[in-house]
Amino acid sequence: MFLKSLSGRFLLLTIIFVMIAEILIFVPSIARFRFDYLTERLERSQIASLSVLAASNAMVDADLEDELLSNAGVLSIALRRDAIRELVLALPMPGVVAETFDLRDASAWALMRDALRTLFIQDHRVIRVIGEPVKGGGLQIEATLIETPLKQAMLDYGRTIFYLSLLISVFTAALLFLAVRWFIVRPISRVVSSMVAFQESPEDVRSIIVPDAGVSELRAAETALQDMQNRIAGSLKQKDRLAQLGGAVAKISHDLRNMLTTAQLFTDRIEMSTDPAVAKTAPKLVNSLNRAINLCEQTLTFGKAEEAAPNLTAFRLSEIVGDVVDSEVLRDTGGLSELVVEVPEDLEVAADPEQLFRVIINLARNARQAIENSGKAGQVKVSASQNSTETIITVADNGPGLPKKAQDNIFKPFQGGTRREGTGLGLAIAAELVRGHGGRLDLVKTGEAGTTFSIILPNTA
Ligand SMILES: Nc1ncnc2c1ncn2[C@@H]1O[C@H](COP(=O)(O)OP(=O)(O)OP(=O)(O)O)[C@@H](O)[C@H]1O
Ligand SMILES: [Mg+2]
């Protein structure tokens, strides 16, 4: 679990990386160690040989010879001066010389290779080393020695390096761990807990983060989060207010509609007034009241955030379209428009008859109103066709086409309306009702030649 956290990963990775780095420098340093070890043996051999040469006749007794050699840590010493090689000191050899190493001009690669070989060789070997401790003196020294103590010293050295590396990596990792916790993990945890707190209570201002990270990237994240939280909190507040306002509007519309309906009843009496001037105003009053009632009703319908789910039944489309014609004929006042129906008698649809009626009448009425407002005679045609998957009901007219504002805001509530007496809700409601059936309402074309809408309904049983 700990290793899955950011700081845990950093801790582990640092230890691994430092160890890798230490391994990379281990080989050169162990080669250096071996080189120094052998050079030191040669130097000691040189001192021993010099003391022999200083003695009279260059002869020493066996005890002194033993002591000199063991002090130098070698088995034998030979000097080579001006191409003449002379054995100065020697102990009995425990075996033959297995390998000779010339330190005078050994390359770094050769030194590293020989050091690794020394580490892995199992035999108890005798080796010869050649060197020139005093550079340019023309004096060259050869010494033979047993390799095992060298190997042991190298292993001890390697072990020390390993423990040291481990210590360094653990120490570095611990420091890094603390740094990561402080600079990265702590700010990230703050961001996360602010997100969680905000999710739980977005209206509580205390859950909005106050940026304080020192690392610029994390500070940018905190600032962005703060910005987002402020905006969400703002729009939630606004939504809340709008919802309250919507509720109030719905109540007002409801009561207003009732009052207007009552007022409508009195217009009949006004119509019967003996005063011709009063009787003449009656139709205008009726019209105004109708519009006001329509506005209230549409607002109320839209206020129900979602329309009731359609109650699907199979019925003949021509019946519903017939109802539309009947009610539109009643409303037709200008006599400019003609409503034509081209729906096959036996075509059946699976839909909510009441809702489909509202959709078609909205489209047909819009078309009629557009024609009437244009002042030219025109035709509205309702037709339908069916294939294996869907039913397409088309409402087409040859009126003036949709104004730009209506096109830009098509199907958007309150925004697309251009008629003074309209509310701009008809198309939005119609589109929502069709969507509720799993279908869609499309504006097929609009222009000077007229407008065509199509209702596409899936043929579900
Ligand atoms: N067939 C059409 N031809 C020309 N313009 C149309 C047609 N249908 C709709 N429009 C335009 O689109 C606008 C939006 O129509 P919509 O039915 O949504 O609202 P409305 O008719 O103004 O008001 P209401 O909510 O009373 O229906 C209309 O105001 C009208 O300008
Ligand atoms: Mg309309």
Out of 173, 201, 227, a domain closes at 173
Please give the tally of structural domains in the chain: 2
148 part of a folded domain: yes
255 part of a folded domain: no
Compute the distance between CA of residue 345 and CA of residue 179 in angstroms, rounded to an integer.
81
54 part of a folded domain: yes
Query: How far does the centroid of ligand 2 lie from the alpha carbon of residue 251, in Å?
Result: 23
Predicted pLDDT of residue 426: 86
15 part of a folded domain: yes
Q: Ligand 1: which residues within 6 Å by Cβ?
A: 298, 362, 366-367, 370, 397, 399-403, 406, 416-419, 422-428, 451
CB 57 within 8 A of CB 73: no
Residues 6+ apart with CB under 8 A from 99: 125, 127, 128
Candidate of 366, 376, 453 to mutate for ligand 1, largest count of ligand atoms within 8 Å of Cβ: 366
Out of 173, 197, 224, a domain closes at 173
> Does position 305 have pLDDT exceeding 60, yes or no?
no
pLDDT, one tens digit per residue, over 276-295 is 888 788 877 887 888 888 88
Candidate of 398, 427, 442 to mutate for ligand 1, largest count of ligand atoms within 8 Å of Cβ: 427
pLDDT, one tens digit per residue, over 56-75 is 676 778 888 888 898 889 99
326 part of a folded domain: yes
By residue count, the chain amounts to 461
Predicted pLDDT of residue 138: 67
198 part of a folded domain: no
151 part of a folded domain: yes
- The DSSP symbol for 105 reads T
Ligand index nearest the alpha carbon of residue 428: 1
Select the more confidently predicted residue: 375 or 138. Answer: 375
Query: How far does the centroid of ligand 1 lie from the alpha carbon of residue 380, in Å?
Result: 14
Residues 6+ apart with CB under 8 A from 393: 317, 343, 349, 360, 382, 383, 384, 454, 455, 457
Query: How far does the centroid of ligand 2 lie from the alpha carbon of residue 71, in Å?
Result: 116
Burial label for 306, CB within 10 Å (0-12, 13-18, 19+), is exposed
Ligand index nearest the alpha carbon of residue 292: 1
Q: Token digits for 403?
A: 């104004």
Out of 133, 151, 173, a domain closes at 173
- Domain range for 39 is 2-173
Predicted pLDDT of residue 381: 96
CATH number at residue 369: 3.30.565.10
Ligand index nearest the alpha carbon of residue 420: 1
Query: How far does the centroid of ligand 2 lie from the alpha carbon of residue 367, in Å?
Result: 8
Compute the distance between CA of residue 74 and CA of residue 41 in angstroms, rounded to an integer.
7
Compute the distance between CA of residue 207 and CA of residue 203 in angstroms, rounded to an integer.
8
236 part of a folded domain: no
- Look up the pTM and report it: 0.48
Instruction: Fill in the amino acid letter for 423.
Output: T
